[in-house]
């Protein structure tokens, strides 16, 4: 069996934990590859990664805090998830051990997701790729969304020139790299998000009957880009419209319940508070705990539909047999939905409110039975494409 190391796994985010679980299982069952180690940019992700975990900084040259600092932090604040486990389970981990894992690997993977983007730090990613290439190991970009790179063209170009294989999860990303690196543009493959393979790889089967009035919602803070998102204002408007139609609303997210990490339940509470101010009878449940991937699917199971910003919240809903309308904040939402024929069920959060409502209204009014059949068909297509990702590796 081959071996690989997975870089930059931000598994404190439940969507990224889902990606990691599917990646590990798919590599083993289809690609005949064992994941021997992970790197992450945050101690908060350590408890949610199944294997040896190291800090990105060991490869990127960024500062990695010594064990004495970790012990001190543990004493001061035991709620800092990850520090204790990092010390107890990985107390011997250091850069030397990580380099040994890389030397013993057949190739190294940049974790699936959407972090190779102008909004996020690309220099650290480039430094990790360069360190791996120093050991003469192939680097694969797998099931990623790339770009845009308006402000970091030269860094993105360096990354693309150094990697050995690129498998994208949507076509918009392919357009983003056309002018940067024509060789990569011509050689890369496009499949879809690997999370769609979860049910097939883990034999997951939704259990509940549909509650026709139960609706799942998700909104997240978003301040990037030139256009204002006005997330709270739009969240309030969408929530009130659904509540006035008689739906029972539940706010839920792949990003919540980890102290020190992004928590969407905070913005959910703000939306509920503002909606109540406008209409004292308004009511909604806000989930605050973190759910691991299968538990999240079980909680979602049985809802009439999902409307939300998190892409892997939407994919999780689809996996739970719940139709999902994705209000995207990056091109990945439209791109991934387009790969499986669901592009009519997504729109950008920066779109004017009347356009969002205009796209959302037909989804809400659609016959539930017909809608479910459409999403089940899309999932079958998505599963095949996701499995293809592992065959290409």
Q: What is the DSSP string of 236-276?
A: HHHHHHHHHTTPEEEE--SS-S-TTS--HHHHHHHHHHHHH
**By mean pLDDT, which of 29-38, 110-119, 223-232, 303-312 is the weakest?**
223-232
- Taking residues 366-393, what's their average pLDDT? 97
Res 64: pLDDT: 55
Q: Tell me, what's the pLDDT at 110?
A: 96
Assign 70 a pLDDT band (cuts: 50, 70, 90). very low
What's the average model confidence in pLDDT over 7-17? Answer: 96
For residues 174-201, average pLDDT: 95
Mean pLDDT over each residue of the chain, to the nearest integer? 91
pLDDT in the model for residue 58: 87
CB distance 378 to 318 below 8 Å: yes
Query: How much is the pLDDT for 290?
Result: 97
Statement: residue 68 has pLDDT above 90: no
For residues 179 and 133, the model is more confident at 133
Percent of the chain at pLDDT exceeding 90: 78
Percent with pLDDT over 70 in the chain: 91
- Tens digits of residue pLDDT in 227-243: 778 999 999 999 999 99
- Stretch 26-36: mean pLDDT: 98
Q: Decide if 166 contacts 160 (C-beta within 8 A).
A: yes
- Considering only 110-124, 161-175, 234-248, which range has the smallest mean pLDDT? 110-124
Q: Residue 62: is its pLDDT beyond 80?
A: no
pLDDT for residue 229? 82
Question: Does the pLDDT value for residue 4 go beyond 50?
Answer: yes
Q: What is the pLDDT of residue 89?
A: 45
pLDDT given at position 73:
47
Residue 317's CB: how many other CB atoms inside 10 A? 28
pLDDT of residue 204: 95
pLDDT digits (tens, 9 = 90+) for 313-352: 999 999 999 999 999 999 999 999 999 999 999 999 999 9
* pLDDT tens digit sequence for 259-280: 999 999 999 999 999 999 999 9
Nearest CA among 309, 263, 305, 302 for reference residue 286: 263
- Domains of the chain listed by start with CATH number: 2-190 (3.40.50.11930), 203-380 (3.40.50.2000)
pLDDT of residue 10: 94
- Per-residue pLDDT averaged across 72-80, rounded? 47
End-to-end CA distance of the chain: 14
**pLDDT reported for residue 67:** 47
Helix (H) or strand (E) holding 162: helix 153-162
Angle at the Cα of 321 (from 385 to 203), degrees rounded to 5?
A: 65
Cβ-in-10-Å burial (0-12, 13-18, 19+) of 298 comes to middle
């Amino acid at each position: 069996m081959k071996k690989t190391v997975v870089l930059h796994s931000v598994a404190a985010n439940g969507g990224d934990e889902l990606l990691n679980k599917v990646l590990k299982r798919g590599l083993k069952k289809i690609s005949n590859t064992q994941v021997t180690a992970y790197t992450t940019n945050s101690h908060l992700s350590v408890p949610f990664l199944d294997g040896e975990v190291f800090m990105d900084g060991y490869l990127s040259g960024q500062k990695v805090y010594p064990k004495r600092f970790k012990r001190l932090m543990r004493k001061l604040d035991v709620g800092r998830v990850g520090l204790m486990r990092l010390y107890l389970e990985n107390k011997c981990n250091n850069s030397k051990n990580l380099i040994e894992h890389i030397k013993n690997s057949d190739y190294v993977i940049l974790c699936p997701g959407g972090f190779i983007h102008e909004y996020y730090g690309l220099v650290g990613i480039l430094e990790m790729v360069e360190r791996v290439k120093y050991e003469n190991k192939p680097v694969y970009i797998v099931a990623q969304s790339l770009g845009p790179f308006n402000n970091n063209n030269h860094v993105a170009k360096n990354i693309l020139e150094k990697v050995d294989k690129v498998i994208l999860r949507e076509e918009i990303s392919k357009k983003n790299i056309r002018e940067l690196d024509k060789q990569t543009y011509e050689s890369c493959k496009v499949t879809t998000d690997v999370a769609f393979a979860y049910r097939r790889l883990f034999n997951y089967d939704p259990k509940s009957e549909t509650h026709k009035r139960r609706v799942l919602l998700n909104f997240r803070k978003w301040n990037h880009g030139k256009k204002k998102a006005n997330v709270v204002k739009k969240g309030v408007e969408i929530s009130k419209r659904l509540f006035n139609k008689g739906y029972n609303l539940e706010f839920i997210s792949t990003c919540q319940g980890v102290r020190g990490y992004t928590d969407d339940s905070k913005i959910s509470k703000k939306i509920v508070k503002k909606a109540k101010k406008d209409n004292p009878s308004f009511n909604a449940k806000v989930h605050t705990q973190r759910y691991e991937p299968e538990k999240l699917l079980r909680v979602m199971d049985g809802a009439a539909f999902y409307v939300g910003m998190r892409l892997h919240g939407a994919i999780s809903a689809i996996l739970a047999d719940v139709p999902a309308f994705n209000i995207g904040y990056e091109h990945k939402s439209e791109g991934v939905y387009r790969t499986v024929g669901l592009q009519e069920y997504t729109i950008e959060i920066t779109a004017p409110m009347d356009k969002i409502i205009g796209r959302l209204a037909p989804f809400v009014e659609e016959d539930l039975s017909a809608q479910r059949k459409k999403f089940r068909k899309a999932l079958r297509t998505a599963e095949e494409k996701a499995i293809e990702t592992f065959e290409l590796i």
